[in-house]
A and B are shown apart, each in its own frame.
Chain A
């Protein structure tokens, strides 16, 4: 064993020993566990209100997706909290002089400290995440497939990469600045500014994004009508959108949020709408009459959610397949599992056919990191169309927007993270090695 590696191991062992003798790791782990439980429960309630069902009913991966989405900020913060004192702590405690008086190479000291901070926080993170995952498995009552387990831990592995980048960043500041409080403040301030970017390129966007290969993405321009009381219309589907809904007398005021535009409490009548976004302009009309509605989403499974007095039938090759049904508030969910290929969907009310048409279940290959967490490939669940069968709507289109790139490709994201990690490791090493530290 060379002297360099022996030094790295020596520093690593001693630092790990100290990490486990202080309360910092336990406190970080406890806070993270608390946040995990809170988000798992909160995410479950949140998603239960929608059409996709409760997270726990869908399995552990669904819960984990919510937890990861909402804790994108946490791993970076944990990494900073554990590592910000690595060098500056030695300096302020004045133990650095004894350490560097020994016949050792400074990069070995730096590396030993980096590895110990990193593995300490990885250990805490993985313990909480693994126990949490097993808890979710138990709570959902669904045994995940090997593929689902692979996706779950694959996503966690990616988070570990972002943590390495943050530890390197904190180590650099710890080498560069001379006061622990200054390091903590600077690290957290920069983390706060940079976090959204790094978190997204790190993992959130890849997991949650509809299209993760960086290619031009499909843009849906359409309407959703939410069937309670007078109609609520939701326009969605574009990035950087400008939406508007009109009645005979002019624009109807609505509420814009992100890529959504909501107009509430619309009485039955005739309306028109416009939607414009990145390189796209669309317009159409809408007629609202009555409150019967259904939702169809196309994925590997065909899911139909309809008001109670609707009948939904599915025909395929002349054979009617029995759906799995479930009542949920004013709706009934029909799930046709594992259906592929083409079929015919018929929705009727009191013997009157309200809608009939062909559908295609599209099975595209899963691509990139984004497929890690979602049980269905992301492309399928991008559009959750809510149509009032008694209403007439025109203008709905699905277009390929050449100017709109979805997120960032896995290779670009990994590259950016690698640059972030590599740059701060190098800077930290340079500062620690070349600066007169004592």
Chain B
């Protein structure tokens, strides 16, 4: 049985009458890359702040590697690496100065610390910037340095809160690649994000939260399958000539529930697996010229929208 790194039990946190998190329970196993999803105001940031010991829950318990974060915060924090969504660096310190400072706060001894500085900067590909002041760092470089400080002590779990927010496409891709690399290395990650495609790319399992309550927690694959079973299969018919007669012919096939036209593509939802062979035939018979025909599984976005709902 996998070791539990994070255990959250019946946690509630309210600000006055407004409860940001209500009766939340979840766990993260060792080696899991865990996505924490929710719309704005769902309670993600409050949850992360509770998990990392910045605020205390009104009710319930949170333990990190078996240490209650409320009562044994020092011990619990030894196992945590944090990349917050908003952070600041000390402009007049170099990259190495930053890591040296944080390494000391982590209680690392000189030789371990210096080795960790070298290793962490190499890991985030900032070795060449070791002795440069962070004043001149780009947003992406700053983000990577913050990831480096979180990795210095090889934490049991790394919390990443909106890790690519505010980065340009190049910087965002660099950070995503870095996170994927860490996933491949078996690190336990807890990623909070509202960018669903990113989470789908970086995580194996997710929890979806809305209005402070946990809606679902499972692997992305399982969630997708459940949705597929619930809503039916979705087939994509890409046509050279998406004309009216073709549309009518496909719509007339028995078992076709709905068709959504997006440019040259028909998104066809069906309730019967056998019908997939009828659709191209009907299209060709009606004069359609098919460029591609394939099935798509529900994306994380589909799952998310199904659970949370548009505009809710």
Contact = CB atoms under 8 A, between A and B. Distances in A.
Contacts of A99: 105
Interface residues of A, number: 26
A105 B78 CA distance: 12
B89 interface: yes
Nearest to B81: A101
Contacts of B87: 94-95, 97-98
Contact of B86 (A97, A101, A102): A97
Given A101-B77, A104-B105, 16 more contacts: A3-B107, A6-B104, A7-B105, A10-B105, A14-B101, A18-B92, A90-B88, A97-B86, A98-B149, A101-B52, A102-B105, A103-B78, A104-B74, A436-B49, A438-B49, A438-B54
A90 B88 CA distance: 8
A319 interface: no
B140 interface: no
A3 B105 CA distance: 9
Given A18-B90, A22-B92, A100-B54, A10 B82 contact: no
Given A3-B107, A6-B107, A95 B84 contact: no
Contacts of A21: 92
A93 B82 contact: no
Contacts of A102: 77, 102, 105-106
B74 A98 contact: no
Interface string A226-268: 0000000000000000000000000000000000000000000
B74 A105 contact: yes
A293 B89 CA distance: 72
Chain A residues touching B, majority SS: helix
Contacts of A104: 74, 105
Nearest to A92: B88
A103 B84 contact: no
Interface string A85-120: 000001001110111111111000000000000000
A17 B84 CA distance: 25
A18 B98 CA distance: 12
B75 interface: yes
Nearest to A97: B84
A98 B102 contact: yes
B93 interface: yes
B157 to A, nearest CB: 12
Nearest to B77: A103
B80 interface: yes
Contacts of B89: 95
Nearest to A436: B55
Interface string B185-201: 00000000000000000
A35 to B, nearest CB: 28
B146 interface: yes
A94 B88 contact: yes
